[in-house]
Chain A
């Protein structure tokens, strides 16, 4: 635990200490801000504010964003050789991987929390469904955990950050849009199964429309556990080469 905390603390310091983190944060807020403003303009005449607007937008943005946030985590340690020091320090391999993953998730949580400013504006000028809104935030937070866990996994496979980002990008795209293949088999049952395997299947059909289901939480938690478990095995396997 102690080691996980130390690794976590160093990594979060890296996120918050690098200019890139602030550029990414600014881009993140710009994108969500523009979207929120558009919705705000529309809501004056046509429709109420959409409570799950920002989380729904983030669901697709995260496909690109999660690989960028996580590509550095383990790939850089390998390239710099510091992984050798970590693996010869009296700490478990899992504390390295878990600490790093949690730091990425925590950094994302900070960014996500910043977008709550739009919700404060929304609440102060209109009457959005607050439980719908908070539910969608919980959903995107879990969804992000899964996406970042996948990014962490691929960062452990290579010392090339670009390759790590590319591999997790491809994996996330497949996991997000993978059910598109069901359109050519015209089998609704199969399509349903495939949809339920995708990342969006457990967000768009539930959190985004104000539904909380245990199965969605289990799905994202399952992806996190599996991806982190594999990442730990990959890091441990460095010893066996």
Chain B
């Protein structure tokens, strides 16, 4: 489990992490969500014992990260954002190396197990340099899990890989939930919603929101956003949409508009307008709630 109390981290005069507190329990996947530079990586580096805190108390698996650094490091599996690998080693040797450095019991057996778990067994004799980005990601996960850590820390594990591999990684992370405490960082809201039980949203080193994904959804989900493209003169259509009581906000986007409003009423209202004025509806789709929107909402 992870306990963070009043954590502060300063680089010189710059405060990267500003008095944050959160915790994560076994069997729970906690998402650390925030834009680039929010302090996600710094927080994770502190949790793994890579960096000291400026002030505050951080406990991982019951041990203080500074006082009992070695105990913590033994119990944490960490995958940094840019998965660090030794390109000249074979897949198997790479995992075995980390298994042995972390004093894993039966390192060879564990290596076989994780290679099998991540579908790398048939590539175990291949050089790491020959692996594709997605396979490297899996190798990074294998490395992080080979010593059966109780806490797993994954820094943006789905960045830079193709959508199919993203789904794979997400599935793997979900499958690990049972026996582990997992901290997962991302800047993609939908991903965190899918995987995590709880989300901690940070911005500029501060926690701006925390809670289960449902609660956060309610907090930030002030209605629905739709992208609507209706054939016709822009100004005219904008006026029509604007006059709808269901629409609280309208903005130009691509060749149509993004309108916001309250739930399902919105769709009906749009359809009504289209029907009443004999317009041609070319496209209507819900717009993903972006993290930026949520920030704007949360910060305001």
Contact = CB atoms under 8 A, between A and B. Distances in A.
Given A6-B97, A81-B80, A239-B51, A88 B73 contact: yes
B271 interface: no
A99 B51 CA distance: 22
Contacts of A90: 70-71, 73-74, 101-103
Interface string A62-92: 0000000000000000001111111111110
A183 interface: no
A240 interface: yes
Interface residues of A, number: 23
How big is chain B's contact interface, by range?
Answer: 20 to 34
B48 to A, nearest CB: 4
A88 B52 contact: no
Contacts of A88: 48-50, 73, 76, 78
A3 interface: yes
Contacts of A7: 101
A2 B50 contact: no
Interface stretch (A10-18, A103-111, A149-157): A10-18
A47 interface: no
Nearest to B83: A81
Contacts, number: 61
B170 to A, nearest CB: 23
A83 B45 CA distance: 13
B160 interface: no
Interface string B21-55: 00000000000000000000000010011111000
B98 interface: yes
A32 to B, nearest CB: 28
A91 B104 CA distance: 13
Given A90-B73, A90-B102, A90-B103, A85 B88 contact: no
Contacts of B143: 85
B274 interface: no
Contacts of B103: 2, 90
Contacts of A89: 73, 98, 101-102
Given A18-B88, A89-B102, A84 B80 contact: yes
Nearest to A79: B84
B101 A91 contact: yes
Interface in A183-228: none
B85 interface: yes
Contacts of B82: 81
B84 A84 contact: yes
Contacts of B50: 84, 87-88, 239
A85 B140 CA distance: 11
B85 A240 contact: no
Contacts of A85: 78, 80, 84, 98, 143
B100 interface: yes
Given A3-B101, A85-B143, A239 B52 contact: yes
Nearest to A87: B50
A238 to B, nearest CB: 8
Contacts of A84: 45, 50, 80, 84
Interface of A: 2-3, 6-7, 10, 14, 17-18, 80-91, 239-241
24 contacts: A10-B89, A10-B97, A17-B88, A80-B84, A80-B86, A82-B84, A82-B86, A83-B84, A84-B45, A84-B50, A85-B78, A85-B143, A87-B50, A88-B48, A88-B49, A88-B50, A89-B102, A90-B71, A90-B73, A90-B101, A90-B103, A239-B50, A239-B51, A240-B51
Interface of B: 11, 45, 48-52, 70-71, 73-74, 76, 78, 80, 82-89, 97-98, 100-103, 143
4 nearest A-B pairs in the assembled complex, by CB-CB distance: A81-B84, A90-B73, A82-B84, A88-B48
